[in-house]
């Protein structure tokens, strides 16, 4: 039995091409691949409806006030649509609620074969309800007492398996070789062979010795990733051992936990290093999921001080323009609508987040990464490219420092290597390889 469609559904009421959204509305931009049995209008109406006030059918409970709160598809092509949402739909300072709407049920609708949340403009009144980074780019001055970056971080490898003693030996070698930060790997938390508390205690002693030895300030990005209350405890422990930074796997732990930990960072006056492990499950394919660009926007909003955004030249997927766009998004105060896939965004007094280049880096590619980033407000992170040095971690750290010196001195790595034996050996092993 076929029913009269008009009486059952009201999806086209969510399309209004004459509508001019106000400055105080959230505007989301989607790419969609519609199912064969629906029209473009059927599709964009469904997206605006299900992400705001509607459901699959007309409702006897609807009144004018609620109808006025609907999402409106106001601009579209055959595969892109912009939807506006009045601010009243959204709770301030609540990223999970935002995502339950603009990235919620719509992704499962039969009407779309695939769907991607490309970007969204968040109005200033909404942005102001978040804290943003506690230190952000100021961490370079505040923690390291340095005028400018980049900071150099080292990730002990093998990524898991080392005992606390082995881990701290590697940290010592890297710190004394010139590295600023030792970063835990994303899957190192508190395992039987390397317990969290013991690692923190020994790392603090090693840091103190390394600071004495070098005269430089050293810190660590120790991974607190766990259940939320446990993360709070772990962060306090790190704080009590004199570290200013801590690290969270921000995608696997979730927005809610990350918002909680941002509060903790404020209370303890610490900075957060955000590792994005698992992001590629939904960011990698441009036709489905959520863009890394929008995820980065959310992370700056919540208040992550450092965020991984890719290297261009390393082992993990990170197209050049994406990396540059995200770097600008994290550091700038104003983003203007550019290529039609990045919407305008104002940040008010929200601080910038330090972008992190990591994954498959080694001395031979470090100057290239610096050229792409075109800023010293950033962090370079090297794991295998330090510990794989033929003469070990200490020499590997020195080789990375020397590569950065070459970039600062604006000379080629070959020229630098004439007076930098560690760099010469690194180039001998890896050259300028771009790992896959
Ligand atoms: C790098 C790394 C980082 C990735 C994360 C790793 O080690 O420790 O976790 O860079 O990726 O485990 O791969 P290497 P992204 O230097 O040995 O490659 O920065 O893209 O989020
Ligand atoms: Mg890692």
Contact 112, 32 (CB under 8 A): yes
Q: Which ligand is nearest to the CA of 388?
A: 1
Contact 315, 358 (CB under 8 A): no
Distance of CA 84 from the midpoint of ligand 1 (Å): 37
Does 140 score more than 90 pLDDT? Answer: yes
For residue 1, what pLDDT is reported? Answer: 38
Q: What residues contact residue 302 under an 8 Å CB cut-off, 6+ apart? A: 95, 130, 131, 132, 255, 258, 259, 262
CA proximity to 378, closest of 366, 386, 394:
366
Give all domains of the chain, ordered by start, each with its CATH number.
3-127 (3.30.70.150), 136-430 (3.20.20.110)
User: In a mutational test of the pocket of ligand 1, which residue from 160, 359, 378, 397 has the highest number of ligand atoms less than 8 Å from its CB?
Assistant: 359
Active site residue 157: yes
Q: Which residues surround ligand 2, an ion (CB under 5 A)?
A: 185-186
Tokens of 9: 């559904």
Does 350 score more than 60 pLDDT? Answer: yes
Helix (H, G, I), strand (E, B) or coil at 338: coil
Query: Where is pLDDT greater, at 341 or 225?
Result: 225
Q: Which ligand is nearest to the CA of 310?
A: 1
Cα dist. 331→170, 232, 275, 326, 379 in Å?
32, 28, 18, 9, 13
Q: What single-letter DSSP state applies at residue 183?
A: E
pLDDT above 70 covers a percentage of the chain that reads 99
Q: What confidence tier does 339 reach under pLDDT thresholds 50, 70, 90?
A: confident
Work out which ligand 1 atom sits closest to the CA atom of 358.
10
Taking the mean position of all CA atoms in its chain, how far away is CA 48?
27
Contact 292, 309 (CB under 8 A): yes
**H or E, element range at 48:** helix 40-50
CA proximity to 409, closest of 424, 396, 419:
419
> Is the full-model pTM beyond 0.95?
yes
Catalytic residue among 275, 279, 297, 425: 275
Ligand 1: list residues with CB < 6 Å.
155, 157, 159, 185-186, 276, 308, 310, 315-316, 358-361, 382-385
């Amino acid at each position: 039995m076929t029913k009269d469609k008009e009486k059952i559904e009201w999806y086209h009421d969510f399309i209004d091409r004459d509508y001019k959204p106000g400055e105080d509305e959230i505007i989301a931009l989607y790419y969609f691949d519609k199912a064969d049995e629906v029209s473009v209008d059927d599709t964009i109406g469904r997206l605006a409806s299900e992400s705001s006030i509607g459901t699959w059918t007309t409702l006897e409970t609807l009144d004018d006030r609620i109808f006025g709160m609907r999402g409106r598809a106001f601009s579209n092509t055959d595969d892109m649509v912009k939807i506006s949402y009045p601010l009243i739909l959204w709770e301030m300072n609540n990223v999970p609620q935002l995502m339950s709407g603009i990235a919620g049920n719509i992704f499962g609708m039969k009407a779309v074969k695939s769907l991607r949340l490309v970007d969204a403009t968040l109005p200033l009144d909404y942005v102001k309800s978040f804290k943003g980074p506690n230190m952000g780019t100021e961490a370079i001055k505040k923690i390291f007492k340095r005028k400018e970056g980049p900071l150099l971080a080292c990730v002990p490898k093998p990524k898991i398996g080392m005992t606390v003693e082995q881990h701290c030996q590697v940290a010592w070698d890297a710190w004394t070789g010139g590295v600023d930060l030792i970063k835990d790997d994303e899957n190192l938390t508190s395992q039987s062979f390397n317990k969290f508390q013991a690692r923190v205690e020994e790392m603090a002693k090693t840091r103190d010795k390394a600071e004495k030895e070098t005269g430089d300030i050293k810190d660590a990005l120790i991974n607190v990733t766990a259940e939320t209350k446990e993360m709070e405890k772990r962060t306090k422990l790190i704080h009590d051992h004199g570290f200013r930074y801590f690290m969270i796997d921000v995608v696997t732990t979730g927005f809610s936990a990350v918002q909680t930990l941002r509060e903790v960072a404020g209370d303890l006056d610490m900075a957060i290093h955000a590792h994005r492990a698992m992001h590629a499950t939904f960011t990698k394919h441009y036709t489905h999921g959520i863009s890394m660009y929008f995820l980065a926007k959310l992370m700056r909003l919540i208040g992550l001080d450092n965020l991984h955004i890719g290297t261009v030249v390393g082992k993990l997927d990170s197209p050049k323009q994406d990396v540059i766009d995200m770097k600008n998004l994290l550091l700038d105060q104003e983003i203007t609508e550019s290529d039609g896939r990045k919407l305008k965004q104002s940040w008010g007094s929200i601080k910038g987040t330090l972008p992190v280049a990591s994954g498959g880096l080694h001395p031979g590619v470090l100057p290239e990464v610096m050229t792409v980033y075109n800023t010293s407000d950033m962090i370079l992170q090297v794991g295998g490219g330090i510990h794989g040095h033929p003469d070990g971690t200490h020499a590997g750290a020195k080789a990375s420092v020397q590569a950065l010196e070459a970039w600062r001195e604006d000379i080629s790595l070959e020229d630098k290597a004439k007076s930098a034996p560690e760099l010469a050996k690194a180039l001998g092993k890896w050259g300028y390889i771009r790992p896959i």
